[in-house]
Amino acid sequence: MTVSRALRTPELVSDKLREKINAAVEELGYIPNSAAGILASGQSRTVAVLIPSLRDNASSVFLQSLQEALNKNSYQVVIGSHDYQQKKESEVLSTLLQSNPAALIVFGAINSESVSNYLKNLDIPVVSVAGESNHPVTLNIKSNVGDAVNFLTNYMLQKGYKKIGYIGAQMDSKMQSQQLSGWNRAMLAYNQSADQSITTPYVATMDFGRQAISEMLTRQPELEAVICSHEMIALGVIFECQRRLIQIPKMLAIACVEGTSNCDHIHPSLTSVRIDYSKMARETAKRLQKWLADVDCDFVERKEGVVFPYKFEARQSA
């Protein structure tokens, strides 16, 4: 019983005894059976997280901050990635749920109908982060990327740029489609053509940015500005412009969504919209831990929403 207590709630055991037990655990190479512990206590100390990709900056920033916040209360994160493949969403989610987690966090948009059906039948808290609100979730945390792109486009139009293109990745995601819609609405509101867009369903890369801007300039050499769905795409655009001796922003203005500190250090510095995924993670962890500590909390009936404002930062590139 003392060993069990030391492993599950070490703060309840004296330092001297805990050190002795930890030494024995290390010597024996003992690994606690978490599945058996869950069956015995009915409680799980894991939180399942479904993310679109391990390569995304947004996903990695969110996961890092979430792990740090949950670890403080002895919760561990179990991660599943579907790599932006709708067919894999429900398969990966099913595997995550087999670990009997205390809660589920879905990062990014839910694109599969089967995933939505899964969520309807869960009796644990479900948090949707940077996704959509029309799903059966306990907490919805988001930032409106469609409005962000609409704002960026309007900003450029008001600066005098008319021929503005859009380059976007991961366009099989509903969230990224909102970006394209935001750009389209702003262009049409100013009676400008919204036909210069290049998109891909794949992950955002600098290489895609270089290829896309090359194709766009071939189609419309008089292009004045471009908005990119991701910072990585925008960096690729900048590097290709520098290779072609295209002056930024004199000959081509550039802006992006989901900017990071890279935007400050690139030359010219990159105009961007920033979304604080780290803060989203901390808010997620805080609310989850509060609910999980409340044995009388009704997760099925609880429905909350939080909208995080995006931050616009004008830089040299536009």
Whether residues 92 and 212 fall in one domain: no
Within a domain: residue 39?
Answer: no
Ramachandran bin of 74, using left for φ above 0, alpha for ψ from -120 to 50, beta for the remaining angles: left
Q: What pLDDT score does 297 carry?
A: 65
Mean pLDDT (whole number) for 15-38: 74
Which positions ≥6 away from 23 have C-beta within 8 Å?
A: none
Range of the domain at 205: 145-275
Residue 22 lies in a domain: yes
With cut-offs at 50, 70 and 90, classify the pLDDT of residue 299.
low
Residue at 316 is within a domain: no
278, with CB counted inside 10 A (0-12, 13-18, 19+), is middle
Residue 118, pLDDT above cutoff 80: no
Give Cβ neighbours of residue 141 (< 8 Å, ≥ 6 apart). Answer: 127, 128, 129, 130, 280, 283, 284, 305, 306, 308
pTM score, whole prediction: 0.78
Residue 150 has pLDDT above 60, yes or no: yes
**Does residue 138 sit in the same domain as residue 210?**
no
Indicate the length of the chain as a whole number: 318
More confident call, 55 vs 199: 199
Look at residue 18 in the predicted model and tell me its pLDDT: 85
The CATH number for 105's domain is: 3.40.50.2300
pLDDT above 70 (res 120): yes
241 and 168, same domain (yes or no): yes
Q: What is the mean pLDDT of residues 245-267?
A: 93
The reply to whether 287 and 138 lie within a common domain is yes
Same domain, 207 and 267: yes
Same domain? 171 vs 289: no
Position 259 pLDDT exceeds 80: yes
- Kindly report which listed range (46-50, 200-204, 264-268) carries the lowest average pLDDT score: 200-204
What's residue 10's pLDDT? 77
Q: Is residue 314 included in any domain, yes or no? A: no
Q: Is the pLDDT of residue 122 over 90?
A: no
Are 166 and 264 found together in one domain? yes
Same-domain status, 175 and 264: yes
Average of per-residue pLDDT across 281-298: 82
Least confident of 34-48, 65-79, 85-99, 249-263: 34-48
What's the mean per-residue pLDDT of the chain? 86
Residue 39 has what pLDDT? 46
The confidence score (pLDDT) of residue 41 equals 47
pLDDT at position 181 over 60: yes
Q: What is the pLDDT of residue 83?
A: 79
**42: pLDDT strictly greater than 60:** no
Is pLDDT of 133 > 60? Answer: no
Residue 318 domain flag = no
Question: Is pLDDT of 40 > 80?
Answer: no
When mean pLDDT is compared across 29-43, 96-110, 289-303, the lowest value belongs to 29-43
204 against 33, higher pLDDT: 204
Q: Is pLDDT of 227 > 90?
A: yes
**Is 301 within the bounds of a domain?**
yes
Strand partners, 272: 256, 313
Q: Flag whether 37 is in a domain.
A: no
Say if residue 127 is in the same domain as residue 166.
Answer: no
Please give the pLDDT value at position 223.
96
User: Quick one: average pLDDT of 198-205?
Assistant: 88
Residues 164, 254, single domain; the answer is yes
Residue 37 has pLDDT above 70, yes or no: no
In a domain, residue 187? The reply is yes
Same domain, 187 and 205: yes
pLDDT exceeds 70 at position 162? yes
For the chain, how many structural domains are there in total?
3
Residues 84 and 202 in one domain: no
Range of weakest confidence among 55-69, 142-156, 245-259, 283-297: 283-297
